[in-house]
């Protein structure tokens, strides 16, 4: 059986977890958490990175920091994971969905401005497959309308837009280190903060509304409850697992990129003959080989393709059911404008196996089976 995903493991994880235990630091904000935070700050050039228990929680923190309140509106694509919307609807906001571009499956930046009302507070671009949204346009719209930009960069760790790391361009950026992402800690994520004036409040929200982070740095002599907050700190054992991956981030990156390029090369003839569509990487977008997807003609052909691969012991998966078609999406959001691409394009897409350590022979075999299907 060829799995769709195998969580990344580089070899040092067990040793580092043992170290965390020997340091008597299995709760949050220990040595490994600090190492990961600093590494992310240095790699992305953001003012502050704070590891969290998930990308969902990083997005919740961003919604709290943004002061999102009942009645506010937040613009995002409907073609995304539920967490993108959950973080804002939990604060009572209405999500306003905008159509995607069929080439990248990202929010269509040319449709955002028309969806803005006097209730709009933020734009949430989702960098699908680790390929950047058109950030120059999005940042310009946000500036002109005085809106916040919160990047869902769950899939975009170590991707960039014109040389700027994804997650570091908007006011806040959210990474995921879930086991299905490029770099993992089982469950985990990170909040990136662009403006250093927002760091203190982020630390407070993350630490149950207390100024405990300041206390641990010796900046105050006792800590207390200062704001409404929650607990978004991951265990240092999880951070130890992540640290083993970040240390070898280049190796993981190159390995995934090799698989991605092999898929692209071997499936290009099918794209050239008009049988299927491969991912588009726009000029100026440096991607991280998070995902390799193909788009079949329609839902029926995709179903047959997935069945053909399954019959050959190859797991391939599709996602997402557009949020505006889901029960919660109907209740808590609305689609602005026409759904030209979101639903139809989502029904064509299939993701192929891609993980650290996927063998080149296996990629070749998968491509062969896809070619066989189209013969």
Rounded to a whole number of angstroms, the minimum distance from the CB of residue 309 to ligand PLP is: 22
- Look at the block and give the residue holding tokens 């209730």: 119
Using CB under 6 A as the binding rule, the residues of this chain from 330 to 349 that contact ligand PLP are none
Buried b (16+ CB within 10 A) or exposed e, 66-91: bebeeebbbbbbbbbbebbbbbbbeb
The binding track of 75-104 with respect to ligand PLP, each residue x by CB under 6 A or -, is -----xx-xx--------------------
Does position 126 bind ligand PLP by CB under 6 A?
A: yes
Residue number with CB closer to ligand PLP (126 or 191): 126
Residue number with CB closer to ligand PLP (54 or 346): 54
d(CA 70, CA 146): 19
Does position 154 bind ligand PLP by CB under 6 A?
A: yes
Dihedral of CA 327/329/330/331: which sign? positive
Cα end-to-end span (Å), the chain: 23
Does position 40 bind ligand PLP by CB under 6 A?
A: no
Q: Which part of the chain contacts ligand PLP (CB under 6 A), choosing from 54-62, 130-138, 241-249, 355-363?
A: 54-62
Give the one residue of 19, 44, 46, 54 binding ligand PLP; rule: CB under 6 A. Answer: 54
d(CA 109, CA 231): 34
Q: Which part of the chain contacts ligand PLP (CB under 6 A), choosing from 49-57, 206-214, 262-270, 356-364?
A: 49-57
Give the one residue of 25, 48, 178, 194 binding ligand PLP; rule: CB under 6 A. Answer: 178
d(CA 111, CA 97): 10
d(CA 289, CA 159): 9
Residue number with CB closer to ligand PLP (242 or 270): 242
Does position 245 bind ligand PLP by CB under 6 A?
A: no
Does position 55 bind ligand PLP by CB under 6 A?
A: yes
Residue number with CB closer to ligand PLP (151 or 301): 151
Rounded to a whole number of angstroms, the minimum distance from the CB of residue 265 to ligand PLP is: 26
Cα–Cα nearest to 321, from 75, 78, 100: 78
d(CA 117, CA 99): 17
Cα–Cα nearest to 27, from 334, 285, 238, 227: 238
Q: Which tokens go with 104?
A: 């990248």
Does position 60 bind ligand PLP by CB under 6 A?
A: no
Rounded to a whole number of angstroms, the minimum distance from the CB of residue 256 to ligand PLP is: 15
Does position 56 bind ligand PLP by CB under 6 A?
A: yes
Number of residues forming the site for ligand PLP (CB under 6 A) = 14
Helix (H) or strand (E) holding 312: none
Residues 6+ apart with CB under 8 A from 224: 210, 211
- The Cβ-side half-sphere exposure at 242, using a 13 Å CA radius, reads 36
* 335 Rama sector, left if φ>0, alpha if ψ -120 to 50, beta otherwise: beta
Rounded to a whole number of angstroms, the minimum distance from the CB of residue 69 to ligand PLP is: 22
Does position 176 bind ligand PLP by CB under 6 A?
A: yes
The binding track of 155-174 with respect to ligand PLP, each residue x by CB under 6 A or -, is x-------------------
Give the interface with ligand PLP as residue ranges (CB under 6 A): 54-56, 80-81, 83-84, 126, 152, 154-155, 176, 178, 189
């Amino acid at each position: 059986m060829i799995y769709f995903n195998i969580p990344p493991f580089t070899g040092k994880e067990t040793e580092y977890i043992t170290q965390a235990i020997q340091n008597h630091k299995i709760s949050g904000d220990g040595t490994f958490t600090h190492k990961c935070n600093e590494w992310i700050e240095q790699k992305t050039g953001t003012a502050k990175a704070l590891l969290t228990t998930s990308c969902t929680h990083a997005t919740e923190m961003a919604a709290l920091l943004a002061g999102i309140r009942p009645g506010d509106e937040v613009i995002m694509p409907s073609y995304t994971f539920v967490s993108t919307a959950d973080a804002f609807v939990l604060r009572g906001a209405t999500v306003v969905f905008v159509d995607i571009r069929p080439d990248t499956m990202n929010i269509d930046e040319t449709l955002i401005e028309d969806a803005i009302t006097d209730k709009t507070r933020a734009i949430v671009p989702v960098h699908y497959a680790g390929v950047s949204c058109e950030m120059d346009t999005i940042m310009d719209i946000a500036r002109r309308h005085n809106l916040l930009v919160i990047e869902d960069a769950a899939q975009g760790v170590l991707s960039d837009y014109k040389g700027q790391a994804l997650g570091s361009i908007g006011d806040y950026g959210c990474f995921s280190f879930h086991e299905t992402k490029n770099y993992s800690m089982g469950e985990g994520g990170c909040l990136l903060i662009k403006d250093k004036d927002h760091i203190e409040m982020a630390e407070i929200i993350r630490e149950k509304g207390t100024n405990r982070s300041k206390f641990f740095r010796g900046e105050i002599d006792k800590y207390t409850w200062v704001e409404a907050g929650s607990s978004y700190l991951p265990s240092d054992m999880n951070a130890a697992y992540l640290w083993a991956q970040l240390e070898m981030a280049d190796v993981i990156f190159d390995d995934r990129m090799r698989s991605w390029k092999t898929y692209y090369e071997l499936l290009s003839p099918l794209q050239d003959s008009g049988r299927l569509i491969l991912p588009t990487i726009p000029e100026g977008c440096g991607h991280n080989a998070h995902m390799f997807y193909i788009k079949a003609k329609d839902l029926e052909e995709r179903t047959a393709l997935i069945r053909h691969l399954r019959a050959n012991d190859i797991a391939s998966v599709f996602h997402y059911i557009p949020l505006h078609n889901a029960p919660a999406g109907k209740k808590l959001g609305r689609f602005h404008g026409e759904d030209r691409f979101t639903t139809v394009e989502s029904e064509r897409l299939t993701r192929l196996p891609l993980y650290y350590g996927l063998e080149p022979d296996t990629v070749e075999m998968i491509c062969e089976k896809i070619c066989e299907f189209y013969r």
